[in-house]
Structure 1
Amino acid sequence: MKQLTRIRLINWHLFENTTVTCQGTTYFIGVNGVGKSTILDAVQFALVGGQREVKFNQAAMAGSQRTLTSYVRGELGAEGQRFLRGDATAVVALEFRNPDNSYFVHGAVIDAYQDGRSPDVTYFIVNGAPLNDNWFFRTEGQLFDSRAFRRHLEHFALPDPQARAQLFTRLEDYRFHLLNRLGQLKETFTAKIVKGLAFSPLTNIRDFAHNYLLDENLVDVKTLREQLETMRHFESLAADIRQRIESLNQIEEQDQERRTQRRLRLTNGYLRRYAQSDAYLADLKKFRLERDEKTIQLSRLELQREALSEQFQHATNALIEAQIALRTDATAARDKALREEIAQLEAELSTLRQQETLLQQTLAREHADAQRLQTFLLADGLEIPTSLQDFVNEDASRFTPHASRFTPHASRLSHLQTDLQTLGHTYAEQMALLQNESRQLRQEAEQLQQEIHKLRTGDRAVGYDTAAPESSRLRRLLRAELGLSADEVIPLYEALRVPDEAWQNAVEGILGRTRFDLLVPPEHYDAAMRLYRQRREKDNLHGVGLPDADRILKNARLPLPNSLAIEVETTHPAARAFVDLLLGGYVKCDTLEDLRDHRTAVTRDCFVRRNFTSSHMDPRHYQRWFIGERATPRQIEQREEQLTVIGRKLAELQTRDTALRERLALTRDKVLGYVELARDLDLLAHRPERETRLAACRTELAGLDTQSLTTLQAQVQTCQAEVDRLQKAVETSGESIGGLKNRLDTLTQEFLPGLERQADEAVQEARAFLVLEEAEELLEDLQKEYERRRQRQPLETVLENATRYESDYQNAETRSRDRLREAKQRYSLTYQFGYDGDEDAARYVRERDRYVESELPQYEARIAEQRAMAEHELVENFIHRLREQIEDARQQLGYLNTTLSALRFGGERFEFITRPEPSLRQVYDMIMDSQAILGESLFESGFRQRHQAGWDLLFERLTAGPDEALTELRELQDYRNYLQYDIRIHYPNGDRALLSQINAKKSGGETTTPFYVAMAASFAQAYRLNQPRPSDTIRLALFDEAFGKMDTARTASALQFMVDNQLQVLLATPPDKAAGLLPHVNAVRTVVRQNNHAFVIEIDKTEMLKELEEGIKTKNKELVS
């Protein structure tokens, strides 16, 4: 075995330069706080390395805050001196002796820093040489730091040519080589070292068994999973082939359905066309009969028309003779002339009376409107024209329809028309001015609405563009020409803010237009000024300020203590200096009286004093805020107030607009009406003349002799009636003849030739239909079907049914063809099978036959072959392997139980027990029953049926995807998961109990003992002590504050158990535990502390035992006395 011989500590907490010798089981004894745990932590750090896994001083306090830095710098925690050292270098080294008496040393050199940086660590392993201080010290008392140590040791001449030094900066490399050097230990060794120091009651036996007793050894399932995956692959291929065959069968069925529907469509299509031909022949026969009948009827009507024409000619001659006699009579001529003149005069007088009535109504309305206009003129303070006054004063009842009374009004209306036109022009000018004002207000309101919207959406530049357009234009010009960003060219107000709202008005007012001065970077100032000078006239940039930031900063001065400048905050250095320059001289005052005490001052309500002169600033200069976050809400509020004022002004303008429109309606709009009124008055002047002429014509008409005239008129009326009757008869006869001729022409030229042609075409179409559909072979069968239907049904029924059924079967065929096409497309897309445009599915049927006869049998054969390979792999390398591992685990625990059977801890005996894990019992039973597997197929055997649930769980996890259920599969790969672990306690009286059941019910000593038993077993397993041949490994076991809650008997038994298991135990306890431990240790080391330094003193174990025995005897005597 490899035995620890020396521990070297330099600058390790309170140990400044200490070497601790170890002989077998070494016992560190000392009161609390002297540094026992510090030594064990150093050993732990050298064996484990790093800072994440090492747990310093855990036995003293769970969650201890000790760190590697605190150990190296010597953290004291005292108020006056927290650390012993500043930047420091520490050395921790362990020396081991091999069975051949050669040595190897390993450890670390650590640099810690007082500025809080992480420590720098160099790990080392020196093979074939004992511990040598020359490795670490540059000179006496002066250590190499970690980097210098690496360079020094790489070139250090070791005494033995076979000796070799290895240096590491990566923990992983150090740990890998160290575990090999310590005896080819496994990686779990480091966790066991930490567990022994960080004592905690043994509460979870399963985790302890997994982590500290039984090594992880997962069964390799890669080959098995690959074989199962291959089998699943072929099964999926076979399933895919079966799915393809099923899809192709459906395609064939749909093709058969299409063929059936096509045959029915062809049958009814042919029958419809052939029946249509017979229908045309039937119509042809009917129209030929109608043609013959119409020809005879036409001959009769032509004879009747000739007779009527002759009678009409005689009647016409008689009418002409009567009319000539009437026209040559003088009385008749005068009667006609008088009657025509009377009718004309009556029409003209009727129109004049209507015009008179309308004119009278118009004059009344105009009189009322003239009164309203007079009222408006009085209200407007305008002079009332004389013509309007005369018209208003005239009595409206005098407006009569006699020409003599209307004549005076015509001249007055002409003057009134002129005056109204003048007034209308005046009101029109006022309306134009009012509309212009209203339009300007609406445009302003629209602009304000847009600005409010932009301000609410975060566009602060709106108010800036409106208040300082010249500054805004110059800013855009500077950005465009000089390539500056928006943050590099800003108006002064954007860089400022005023925390106290009470002084906002004063700041805004004093700064005034200076708020819009543009701040540019000093390095661009000259270029900005040149550009400003070039474009000042062209772009109207007058009045914009460009503060010279460089000069302002160089000439900056502090503001007065109570100046207005201190109310302004900014992070912009140039803006700060500029504001101090502008506002630093204005002293803040609370009252007007205070102003008088200063030359330059200002109050909150914007009274300002300059050169001992006080005044109040114009609110227009400060009411619109631009500085700080309150500026936007204030600008929105001000614009909303302006909108309210504009709304009131628009309402007032609307009232004025309505009044002006009323006045324009009574002046300008009346001019044309008065022109028409004057014209109508002139026309009414002719009415008396028309009435006199009408009376004269009526008198003359009444005096004519009309007896001969009456006789002639009666004769003309009689002849005219006969002519009208005969003319109507002739016309009626002609219409009848024309209708018959049209009908005969239609029958002869259209119907009969058309039906003959259609009948022939229908027969030809029926045959061509079959030719086009490539179904000529059906002609004979279809003709027979037609004859059968004609025997049972009338022609109309046959035609009607065939027409309807052809459409139905056409739709049915289309649907079946679409379904077939979709099925073919779906198959082609799903299986990358080239789609064809064929009507049928012959190509797909051939594909189905190939799958059924060739590919499917091949895949089924491959599946059977792959299943056999998977069965063999499953049985030999998974099930049997797990069974062997489970049995081996029980054997390991049995070996520990053999050792424990002879030991008593306070009269109690401990035994590790196992039983199947309930959650995996089904898989466990299957594994342990695997010897029953014979030569039959595992997948179809009785073994599988007996363990179906376990089989299903196993295959569910084995066949999961690469990223699915990996944790669950790992659970089945780990043999340790198939067992439950516990410790059975045998009491002296024969009773037994399980540790898992009594953990929370027993005393500290009873529950602490299993921890040390389990840890000893864990170390024995780590060092492979349970093998027939002893292994060449270290045998270290570290226990801090050991056996604190155990009585003397249990303590002695636990330590004896560890020694009997060939462990080299390093343990640390206070002195009160020494009596029970000294007989079982090989060496005793006392740890003492003086001030801030700790030391280790070697104690003779024999002398210490004697002192303890004498002390015990003395106490016993005292008790007896």
Structure 2
Amino acid sequence: MKTLTKVKLINWHTFSNTEFEIYKNALITGENGTGKSTILDAIQYVLTVGKCKFNKAASDIGNRTLESYIRCKTGIEGHEYVRNGDVTTYIVLEFFDEKTKDYQIIGTVIDLPSGGRLNREFFQILDSQINDVTFIEERKVLTKKEFKNTLNTNNQQGFFKDTIKEGERLFGNALGVKPKYFDLVTRALAFKAIDNVYQFIVDFLLKEDFVDIQNLRDSIKHYKVLEEKLKVSKKECDTLEEVIQFYNLYLENAFQIDILDCTKEKLYERELRSLIENSQKRYQTIEDQLNFIQQKLNQLHQDEESYQEKYHQLDQSLRENDTYNLKNDLKKECERLKKEKEDKHKGYIELLDELQQEAKLLKELRIQKAFIKVLENEEYHTETLSAHLRKVEQEIIEKTNKTEYQRSSLQLEITKNVEQYNQYQEEYTSLKENQLYYRKEIQELICLLNEQLTKHFGKSIEVKPLCEYIEVKDEKWRNALEGYLNSQRFDLIVEPEYFEYALLVYEEYKNKRGIYGVGIVDVAKLAKYGNVALKETLADQLECKNTYARWYVNMLLSKVHCVDDVTQLRNYPTAITPTCMLYKNYTARALNPRIYNKPYIGLGAIKIQLKTIEQQLETLQQEIKQQKVELEALKNTQSLLKKSNADKILYRIDLLDKYHSLEKEYQEVNERYQKLELDDSIISLQEECEAVKKQLDQTKKEKENALMKKGSLENNLEMFKEQLEQTQESYDVLHEKIIQFEMDHLELSQKADQKVIVYLKRFVKDFKAMKNEIDYQKSVSQDKARQVESQIEMKMKDYNNEYNIGFENSLKDIESYKQRFHQLKDMDIVSKEEKTRQAKLKCEESFKTSFISGLNEKIENAKKDIYELNKGLAQRDFNGETYEFCVSPTSRDDFKEYYKIIQSGKEYMANNLLSETLNESQRRIMDELFIKLSSVENDQETEKMLLEYTDYRNYLDYDIKIKYNSGDFAYFSKVNKEKSGGETQTPFYVIMAASFEQVVRNRNQNEGFGCVVIFDEAFNNMDEQRIQEMIKFYNEREIQTFIAVPPSRASTIIPYVNTRLLVIKQNQHSFVEGFRDEEL
């Protein structure tokens, strides 16, 4: 212990050159105005390194200043100061180290020039006593400069400091005390009644010890830098995404224009086909009519000649009545009929030829072999042929229906394959954009969570499946990894703070949207898997871009050992080979290739899927091409079926009967000829002549009408033939063009087919209206495409200006923008998100270690210190009362919730910020505190707030429990205004003792310290028993007391102090008489 042993005052108020010794505890007394307070202010001035306010209570000359002390202000009119001119003042304190037996001096030297400014320095002189140092030579007080020179001359080691901060450091090292000591000296001297017990205990009993959160703030600054970089990258990515979205819109417009062009072509093909079919029907109708008229004319011509000849013969016979001539005429008639039969033979042969053509068609169609055989045998019986022709006609109808069914079925298969092709194409496009294509439920839940979490938390939140956060190190193990993880590859990684809300969203929408079988990982519970052994396990075969993904992978795969051969499987509880043979639960099984044939893990999976889909697209395209060939074959069959004339032949089959009738007529005429040779009746000749005349007239009239109709039909036929040939040629060229286009553009062609159906349904066969509508829609799309292109180029320009990228502001350079977007989205942002996440975890860890643990430790230490203080007080009886300091959780609303969590959250402190032991409300409270402490602002208000939250004392409430011998007790906060002065003073001195005890720097390091406490009018309301116990209390704590009391109270305290000082004043000079009692 370093004790104050002597005090020397030179030119300090009324003390010109006074020194007095002190042995242990000291009491100083004297009448008012003698200089007690002056001495206290002098000692206080040194022990506070000049920071004190001088004692006002004892002043009889107004407020005292340092200059008034130095010049000795009297207040006498015309003689204001005792000392004028240049004055030098010394306040010197001598200390003795009881352990080392060494002396040292600390003090201050102050030069006050006449009309000048104060010049002050604090000093320490080692290994010296006051008597060893020269302050006055030849009755002259040495100036500061002279004092330093004298020390150097005498080889005395002195240290001088001219600032308070440096002085505190100098005196703190000299006395072995902490900086707070210098503040406590003033507080002890300026005693006042305890008004607010809470504030009093905070100020005096508990040491000011803020939690150091600099590491936390440094971590937060680093996190904020990373977060800002991430925001910049995300903003750039969002800007690029806008460019690409507009480009996709541009492509969609271009695609719609292509669809409209294709639709227009297909509708034009339909229009041409409709024209051809109508023209063919009309042409065939006219041709049939013409053939029929021609046949009729031929028949009429022959009938006319026959009737004319017959009439002439009958008329001549009647005129001549020559039977012989008639017989010759009949002979001639027989010859004519023979000739007519020969003329009809041509039509007869043409009909037979049509029958042969029909047979040839039927051979191509491979139907009606019986009919073909009849014709091959030349069995031209009308009835037989009619029966067969009706069968042909029926089978043609059936064949037509069947072919149409086959065509429709094949068309449906083509449509399905095209849809599959389009799906593959969509997957391919997605993969080319580095986006995996998931089944509907997974994609639906990802989109739903991204939307709902972003909306709920007010910031962009992106949820991804596990497979997007991991990469396969060695492709040898890909199938094993894909197969073992199976559906867990698609489990969604959600950051811990969002999990509970994500779960609520999933619960709400699972039935509404049919989302089942997709997992959301509760990563908050997986921290323990962060540092598990991975060597030679499947987990070691994966690189993870995300901490939470790594935890989940470690949980799933860290116990699955990798072996190269199936014979090694049984060496481990769970093991797997590269060939996907799994051993688990003492059972070996081969993983289904269906699971791992389509990989999903990492960017490598995208490359493999791209290659597979390219093959599938090629295979499917070839299959669709083959189906289209088959479809064309069916269409050709339909075309052949349409060429069948069975129904028309059946309509004209009676020509055979006519031909046969002519033969029969010939036979009848011939028979008449034979009869006329025997019959000479003239009457029969007249009747026959009139009948023939009538038939002749009728035949001429029919012939004239037929000729007129024939001319009209021939003109129409020639016109339709020319139109049909032109239309057919246009149709063939367009049809071939469309077929080739469909094979090269399956999706576009399918979309166009759908539009064709819509237009046909809407406009029926009004192809002109369809064309006008398509032209209008195309014009709208082209205008929109131009607008979008302009917007794209504007956004490109804005992007290049903002991020100083040298891309072209043109669609020609769109690939550069897309590559940059995918570089950011799939690599840079993922990497920065992980770095930011790690930085945040570091902040949270620092929050736990720097703040929460530190705060908890300081709270516990405070409780422990008060407990130790209470142990000493428990045996100390202050006139029938004992005191106990009480500590309880704060009642302040802004701190009590934090205290509850900090004090009860052992697991919270041991695990992580988002421990499952905290409910949502508690997590929210701690998050708010974390945010407050996370402020990187350096303004005064922020610093004040940080000091408040890092001061452990604010988390507690304090009181003093007063225990009586009767067993009753009371709390000081409730009764302090009702108690006597002594009762309210006792806690003050107890707390001051505890406060000074805390500022002794090296108490537990077995090194000396000096702790002097100054009290003015101390213990003035306390009885002797309390005074005795209090001084003993201070002595036990090795605190040296210097007590000033008025003479009326001196007798009460004198028995308990070692040194008694009496201040005496004569005129303007004061001096001290000292007495000491070493036996106490």
Structure whose alpha-carbon radius of gyration is higher: 1
Q: Structure 1-normalised TM-score? A: 0.48
